[in-house]
Structure 1
């Protein structure tokens, strides 16, 4: 694997900026559309496979939850596959912010990039 390039980070940010906007707007179907049909999704609840599980997960989140992230590392694994490793924070209106590490694999499908794997690890 090669170290990430600026272009790789831009690919990850392009997908995650749209993810953040959809999460912040509490639009679960819009969030799910950013994932591949067969995406493996692991939030802070049991994992799911596919867009319906992603939509259900984000639909269960409280109104007012917002997301923030910072790209730490990227790696180009193949022409159509980029690994992103990030710090993310989920803020709420009525409880403390949750800080996590987030690993994503973004895959090019036709003319767009989508999340094929999403894995959250809670910080200590």
Structure 2
């Protein structure tokens, strides 16, 4: 991994909050970690904005949890960090879904938010 510790820490701060809210099945809290104009592409058609993010996670089954591993990071600008991750979504009643996740997090004031989220399934 060619990531710097600063970028990894920025991503961990945002993604640990995201994971906590996903694991708690709290779609509104998940959405609050995204920018107002976030582009969101889960495993369904894309959406823009927090309402779409909340709707997507509200439709996920209770008991779904996420585990992630940061693979690469890049600092795109002072207030933008790109992350490339592997994520396993576990369920109570079906096999784990393993995906690749690309995110761009953006600093607004003193807080970092997800502004772009794109999932692709592993082959």
The verdict on a shared fold, with TM-score over 0.5 as the criterion, is: yes
| Counterpart position of 1:4 | 3
User: Which whole-Å CA distance do the structure 2 matches of 1:32 and 1:99 have between them?
Assistant: 22
RMSD, matched Cα: 0.6
| Counterpart position of 1:44 | 43
After TM superposition, the structure 1 = structure 2 runs for residues 1-124 of structure 1, keeping only pairs within 5 Å, are 3-124=2-123
Query: What whole-Å deviation, never above 9, does each CA across 1:26-53 have from its counterpart, x for those lacking one?
Result: 0000000000000000000000000000
TM-score, with normalisation over the residues of structure 2?
Answer: 0.98
Give ranges in structure 1 of 5+ residues lacking alignment.
none
Give ranges in structure 2 of 5+ residues lacking alignment.
none
How many residues align structurally? 122
TM-score, with normalisation over the residues of structure 1?
Answer: 0.97
User: Which whole-Å CA distance do the structure 2 matches of 1:57 and 1:22 have between them?
Assistant: 13
> 1:4, CA displacement in angstroms?
2.8
